[in-house]
Each structure stands twice: as structure tokens, then as C-alpha cells.
Amino acid sequence: MELLSNLQLGFGVALAGTNILYCFIGVLLGTLIGVLPGIGPVATIAMLLPATFVLPPVSALIMLAGIYYGASYGGSTTAILVNLPGEVSSVVTCLDGHQMAKQGHAGKALGVAALGSFFAGTVATLLVAAFAPPLAELALKFGPADYFSLMVLGLLAAVVLAHGSLIKAVAMIILGLLVGLIGTDVNSGVARYNFGLPELIDGVGIGPIAMGVFGFGEIIRNLEHGQKREVVSSRVTGLLPNWEDIKQSTWPTIRGTLLGSFLGILPGGGPILGSFSAYTLEKKLAKDPSRFGKGAIEGVAAPESANNAAAQTSFIPLLTLGIPSNPVMALMIGAMIIHGIQPGPQIMTAKPDLFWGMIASMWVGNFLLVVLNLPLIGMWVKLLSLEYRFLYPAILLFCCIGVYSINNAWMDVLLAAGFGFIGYLFGKLDCEAAPLLLGFVLGPMMEENLRRALLLSRGDPAVFVTRPISATLLVISVILLVIVLLPAIRQKREEAFVEEG
Amino acid sequence: MKHLIKNPRDFWAGVMFFTLGALFAGVGFTYKIGTAARMGPGYFPLVLGLMLAAFGLAISLLAMREKNAGPVVEKFHWNVTFWVLFPIIIFGVGLKIMGMIFMGLMVVIVSSIASEQFKLRPVILLAIGLVIFCSIIFVGGLKLPIPLCPAFGVFEQLAACRV
């Protein structure tokens, strides 16, 4: 019963007076900003990162995780009430959720989303607690060559599971890796790609990139398209679903949770893939698929549980391998490093309070979300009626202050503006930005492990195929690539993401 | 040339990747390359840069095939882009000299011009409200070391005392 004692330790940390307070603040702030249309979890976390600097590392990470769940949940609220997904993972929630809202069942949709998410969060927390330790132990056996291959697999999987053009996503990863190399090379002390600027000697921070590409770039895009929003302005009542609704949404919730939990562990899977696949699955299983898109309650319950479950389980690769599976996790790695914690398998043994505290706080965070959101829904609805022309200057100002405060560096503000333009350009050219951020975080790690692996093998690249762990990982990568390039599967993959249309 | 490009978004994305790849590889070449066993600082970036350039080229070439046809690149809204990014740059450059009070007002007011429904009076009120809010929360509460108004030391002293 090691698991129980570990969870006990975790809950001890998570429920300690100040930590539960920070979890609460995180969830509240996350929801508050997540509800605002046009700002997703990545920009939210990047913006609020400096606010956690004054805290001890455990509290800071608990608060950031809280911000993440809050922002995801807030995004769903926006999707249901305004038909404007705050983030990609709530795109499918728009389909049926907003239809329900239009028919006057907004409360029911929000209630089912909240309860489904809570159920999913509970299951996923248990899964993380059960699977993280054995994985971390396995990861401790990894040598540099294995790590390198693992990162290759992780990045490839991220591309395969993401939507959009495969080859462009690979190019974005490589670009991300390269941007990650800007700054001083640890081995030789040579400053690379700093163009003589002393401000770039430490490299480009993750804050300016995340804020620029996911914050500023997004704002420009929203502004140019003009604001066409249809807010369901009538009062939201009847949050609690009745017996009939519960019966209808129980199985979709369970299926969504399982599917989401599984997909969340995979690199690049995360909430987006979870919610899309859960929706498709429900539509396939339904007796009358034509109800979907017209306010089917299953169409809210399944994807909402799936994306919340996936949001939790995507912490598994982060906590055990130190590898981010989506942009939010990339940002969490950035936050850990800022707080002086090296992400990786050693966290579990070196900092058990942090490891288990974070896991327990996931459940606490989900519980707080339900408690918080059901009564506060009226306030969120009011927030939604804020006009975008007043909203975006405020977001810009918060982002400016946030990005400056990460390092007290004026250069970071300019970099963020530059990346804002780059993000806007990416959007015009249909280039998905998420792989860039993953590559960016993994760039230095990948170079370091490649160097070490080849140094140990005296330059012989065979080391990647002779070590069993590394060879297995590379074989999986190749299989993955082959599968995705097979015409039949390729078509299916495109179909899975067309569901939003 | 124009009729050869069947998928303009992919084509120009390819051009972008090629250019950036070539740039990274070119600069990477000026660093010490070393050997696989003893990599210099230029080794990994050079390899990645060449890979990126190759991918860019492939993407552009694929964009010329009929079966990959796709929509045109939407036009850039330069004025929106300018009014959003310009105040951010000024904020970055001017924060240490002018302080957050002036720069904050500037960011809110100038960036508001990007909106189609720009009206000066409510924007000024919004700017004043936000600057007061940020001063209290970020500088007063979270004690982030942001200069409020270096020209008049009085604000700094206010922020320094416990709120």
C-alpha cells in the first residue's frame, strides 16, 4: 500500500493551509482569464508566471497547475455560452454545447461539463498516481542515447497526433529546436546566434515565445477578423442535470475519461486529441447520430471529460521523463527550471513532497473547480459580455508587465513583440505553432544527450540501435511514421480532425 | 510563376523554412564544427539548419503539385499589426526611463486604435483604471521590481512601503 502512503503525503502537502489557498487562487485566476474569449491556457500561464515567483516552488507549481485546469474549464464555459472556443480542445464542445445553450439548456450543459470534468479528473489523478512511479523508475535506467531516442519519439508522436500538415509540423519542430539553441553553448561557452547582443547570451526565454506566438499573435488575428459573437444573454438557470440527463451522460463520461486518459499520456496527444476522438466515438456509438450538432448532451459530456482527463494525464511524461507532451507542459518545464527544479525522473525520489503534492493538488484543483464554478457561473456570464475592444488592451498590458517581470529584461518585451509578428505570420501560412514550442524546450536537452551519447560511443552512431531501450524507441518512431504515411490511415487522421467543420 | 504555385500557403511556408534553415546553417558554419565524437558548438545547429532548409524546399516543391492545391494566403492587416505591436515595443524600450504609469497608459491607449470601434474617452478611463489596478496588484502586492514613475520618486517610495 505504498500508493496510499504516497497519496497521503501528497494530500498532506496539497491541503496544507497556504498550498490549498494557492491552488484556489490559481483555479480562480485561471477560470477568470480562461473565460475571456481569445486567450488560451498557454498565454494565461505565461502571463501569470511572474505572479508565482514570490512563492516556494511547491506552491508555485500547484498554483500554475490550478491555473491550467481553471483556464481549460473556463474555455469550455466560453465555448458553450459564446460559441467561441477559448482553445482548440473546446472546439468540439461548441458544436453541441452552444446548441444546448441556444435551446435554453445552457445551465444543463455547463453542469454536465463540470460534473463530467470532475469525474474525469478524479480517475485521471488516480491513474497518474499509479503509473508515474514505475515509469519514473524505468526512466532512471535511461542513458543519453535512450533519452535522445525518446525525444525523437516524443516529437514525432506530437506531430503525428497533432492536426494539420505533417511535413510542416516537422519543419516547425526543427525550427523550434534551432531557436532553443540560441544563447551560450554549455560545452564550449560560445555564444550562438546572439548577433552580438549581450541580452541574448542567455538565450530566448520561453515566456516571450509563448506570450508572443500564443498571446500577441492571437490578438492580432482576433482583431482582423472582427468580433462576431453570439452571447446567450438570457440568465443561466438549472445547472444540475436531472435524472434523465445523468442516465444519458454517464457512459459517455466514462468512455470519454478512459479515452482521454490514454491519449493524454501520449506525447502530443493532450486534451485536443482527447476531446476530438471522444466526440467522434460517441457519434459512432449513438443510436441516432443525427442528434449530434443539434444539442446532444453526450456531445458535451464525452469531450469535456476527455479533455480534462487528458489534461491531467499529460503530466505523466512531464513528471517522469521531464518531457513535455504539449505546449502547456513545455511552459511548466520552463516554470520548474525558473524555480530551480530540474524536470526528470529524479523528481520523484529527490522531491517526493513536490511530486506527490502536485498529483494530489490535481484532485483538489478539480474539486475546487466544481465548487467554484457552479455558484460563480453568473459572474462568468457577465465577464463574457465585456467588449473585446476593452478586453484586448488590458490583456496586452498584463502580458507586457508579465513578460518583463520574468527576468526584468526589456529585451524580452521586444522579443515577445517580434514573436507576436512571427505567430501572426505562422497563422497566415497555416503553420501550427504548438510543435515549435515543444522543439524549443527540447532543443538544448536533445543536443546535450546527442553529444554525450556520441562521446561515449566515440562517434559511432550505432549506439542508438545497439542499446535495447533506444532501439525499441526508434523502432516505435519508425512504425509510427510508416503508419501515418499509409494512405488509408492518413485519410482517417484527416477525418478525425475535420469533425469541427 | 504564379500558376505553378498550387498551394500558396504551403509554398510560402516552405520559402520561410528554407530561408531560416539556410540562415541558421550559414551562421552555424562559422562556429567550430568538430566531429561526431567531439561536437563543437556548430555541429548540431548546422545539421538542423540543413534539415530545415531541405524540409522547406520539399514543402515548396510539394505545393506545386495539382493534388495539393490549397487556398491563397489571406492578406496581412498591417495597420492592426502595427497598432498592437508598436506600443509593446515602446513599452519595452521606455519602461526603465518612463516607468509603468506612463508606459501603461500608452500601451492601453495606443493599442486601442487597432480596434474598429475606437473611442477616445472610454479608452482613457480604461487606461487609468488598469494602471491603478496594475500598480496596486503587481508593484504593491506582488512586489515585482517594476519602476512606476522614475521621474517622480514619490511613487517609488509609496510602492516600497508596505501596503
pLDDT, one tens digit per residue, over A334-362 is: 888 888 888 888 888 888 888 888 888 88
User: Rg for chain A (alpha carbons), in Å?
Assistant: 22
Q: What is A196-245 written as a DSSP string?
A: T-GGGTT---HHHHIIIIIIIHHHHHHHHT--------SPP---S--HHH
Residues B154 and B82 in one domain: yes
The dihedral region occupied by A104, where left means phi > 0, alpha psi between -120 and 50, and beta the remainder, is left
> Quick one: cell of A163?
492536426
The answer on B95 and B51 residing in a single domain is: no
Contact pairs from chain A to chain B, CB under 8 Å: 196
Q: How far is A88 from chain B (nearest CA, A)?
A: 21
The answer to whether the Cβ–Cβ distance between B89 and A413 falls below 8 Å is yes
Interchain CB distance below 8 Å, B13 and A417 = no
Which among B16, B32, B77 has the least Cβ separation from residue A224? B77
* pLDDT over 60 (residue B108): yes
CA of B82: how far to CAs of A10, A214, A394, B106, in Å?
A: 48, 17, 17, 14
Supply the mean pLDDT for chain A: 84
| B145/A408 touch (CB, cutoff 8 Å), yes or no | yes
Mean pLDDT confidence for A157-169: 78
Q: What does the alpha-carbon distance between residue A350 and residue A178 come to, in Å, rounded to a whole number?
A: 31
Instruction: Render A72-95 in DSSP notation, one character per residue.
Output: HHHHHHHHHHHS--SSGGGHHHHH
Kindly state the helix (H) or strand (E) to which residue A183 belongs, with its residue range: strand A183-184
Q: Is there a single domain that holds both residue B48 and residue B19?
A: yes
- The answer to whether B65 faces chain A, any CB pair under 8 Å, is no
- From CA B92, how far away is CA A405, in angstroms rounded? 11
Asked, for residue B122, whether it belongs to a domain, the answer is: yes
The residues in B 69-88 lying below 8 A from A, measured between CB atoms, are 70, 73-74, 76-77, 80-81, 84-85, 87-88
CB neighbours of A494 closer than 8 A, spacing ≥ 6?
none
Same domain, B86 and B155: yes
Q: How far apart are CA B35 and CA B43, in angstroms?
A: 8
Q: How far apart are CA A391 and CA B114, in angstroms?
A: 12
**Partner-chain residue, chosen from B28, B52, B88, that has the shortest CB–CB distance to A396:** B88
Residue B59: its chain A contacts at CB < 8 A? Answer: 167-168, 171
Of A291, A370, A309, nearest to A114 by C-alpha is A370
Note whether B148 contacts A: Cβ–Cβ < 8 A. no
Query: For the whole model, what pTM was predicted?
Result: 0.85
Rounded to an integer, the average pLDDT of A487-499 is 60
Does A499 have pLDDT greater than 60? no
CB A188 to CB B88 under 8 A? no
The percent helix, strand, coil of chain B (3-state, each to 5) is 70, 0, 30
Residue with more model confidence, B118 or B163: B118
- Which residue range forms the structural domain that includes residue B153? 78-160
Residue B141 and residue B123 share a domain: yes
Q: Which residues of B touch A413 (CB under 8 A)?
A: 88-89, 91-92, 95
Q: Is B136 on the interface with A (CB under 8 A)?
A: no
Report the gap between the CA of B156 and the closest CA in chain A (Å): 16
What pLDDT is stored for residue B56 in this prediction? 96
Is B143 within the bounds of a domain?
yes
Measured between beta carbons, the chain B residues lying within 8 angstroms of A167 are 55, 58-59, 62
A397, B35: Cβ pair inside 8 Å? no
Question: Contact at 8 Å (CB) between B51 and A171?
Answer: no
Same domain, B118 and B138: yes
How would residue B104 be classed by pLDDT, with cut points 50, 70 and 90? very high
Q: How confident is the model at residue B153 (pLDDT cuts 50, 70, 90)?
A: low
Per-residue model confidence (pLDDT) at position A5: 85
| Cβ-contact A404, A155 below 8 angstroms | no
In order of A174, A181, A302, the CA distances from B54 in angstroms are 11, 19, 42
Helix A144-161, helix A468-485: angle, nearest 10: 20
Q: Measured between CA atoms, how close is B111 to chain A, in angstroms?
A: 6
Q: What is the pLDDT of residue B163?
A: 41
Which of B68, B96, B121 is the endpoint of a domain? B68
Predicted pLDDT at B1: 61
Place of cell 505504498: A2
Please tell me the predicted confidence (pLDDT) of residue B60: 94
d(CA A137, CA A308): 26
* Number of domains chain B contains: 2
Is the pLDDT assigned to residue B130 strictly greater than 60? Answer: yes
DSSP single-letter state for residue B71: P
Domain assignment present for residue B59? The answer is: yes
Same domain, B44 and B99: no
For A394-404, what is the mean pLDDT? 90
Whole-number Å distance between alpha carbons of A294 and A299: 9
CB of A123 within 8 A of CB of A309?
yes
The answer to whether the beta carbons of residues B136 and B104 sit under 8 Å apart is no
Q: Does residue B62 fall inside a structural domain?
A: yes
Of B56, B107, B142, the CB nearest to A171: B56
Q: Evaluate if residue B45 carries a pLDDT over 90.
A: yes
Q: A25, A195, A397: best mutation site toward chain B, by most B Cβ within 10 Å? A: A397
| A374 pLDDT higher than 80 | no
- What is the model's pLDDT at position A174? 95
Q: Do A220 and B51 touch (CB under 8 A)?
A: no
Give residue-wise pLDDT tens across range B51-90: 999 999 999 999 998 887 888 888 899 999 999 999 999 9
The reply to whether B83 and B32 lie within a common domain is no
Q: Tell whether B149 is covered by a domain.
A: yes
- C-alpha cell, B73: 494566403
State the smallest CA–CA distance between residue B22 and chain A in angstroms: 11
Whether residue B152 sits in one domain with residue B97: yes
Q: B134 and A51: CB-CB below 8 Å?
A: no
- A442 vs A212, A322, A335, CA distance in Å? 19, 10, 14
d(CA A418, nearest CA chain B) in Å: 8
For residue B122, pLDDT beyond 80: yes
Closest CA–CA distance from residue B3 to any residue of chain A (Å):
18
- Whether residue A228 is predicted with pLDDT greater than 70 in this model: the reply is no
Answer yes or no: is B50 within a domain.
yes
Q: What is the mean pLDDT of residues A473-489?
A: 80
Closest-CA distance, A406 to chain B, in angstroms, reads 9
Instruction: Give the residue numbers spanning the domain of A77.
Output: 2-498
Q: CA of A423 to nearest chain B CA: how many angstroms apart? A: 11
For chain A, how many structural domains are there in total?
Answer: 1
- The answer, yes or no, to whether residue A42 has pLDDT greater than 60, is yes
Is B36 an 8 Å CB contact of chain A?
yes
Q: Is a pLDDT exceeding 90 seen at residue A154?
A: no
Same domain assignment for residues B143 and B98 = yes
H helices within A339-433, ranges in order?
346-350, 352-384, 388-407, 410-428
Q: Is the pLDDT of residue A59 over 50?
A: yes
Q: State how far the Cα of A122 lies from the Cα of A163, in Å rounded to an integer.
A: 28
Chain A CB within 8 Å of residue B130 CB: yes
Phi, psi dihedral angles at B160 (to 5 degrees): -70, -30
If one compares A294 and A88, the residue with the highest pLDDT of the two is A294
How far is A140 from chain B, CA to nearest CA, in Å? 24
**Whole-angstrom Cα distance, residue A72 to residue A118?**
13
Q: What are phi and psi of B39, to 5 degrees?
A: -70, 135
Say if residue B154's pLDDT is above 70. no
Residue A433 scores a pLDDT above 90 = no
Give the dihedral of Cα atoms A187, A189, A194, A196; nearest 10 deg: -160
Which residues face A184 on adjacent strands? A191
Residue A500: what pLDDT?
43
C-alpha cell of residue A68? 491550467
B73 part of a folded domain: no
Which pLDDT does position A487 carry in this prediction? 65
Nearest CA in chain B to A51: B142
- Find the CB nearest A389 among B37, B59, B117: B117
Contacts with B141 from chain A: Cβ below 8 Å? none
Minimum CA–CA partner of A195 in chain B: B27
Determine, for residues A401 and B146 on separate chains, whether the beta-carbon distance falls below 8 Å.
yes
Please determine, for residue B159, whether its predicted confidence score (pLDDT) is greater than 70.
no
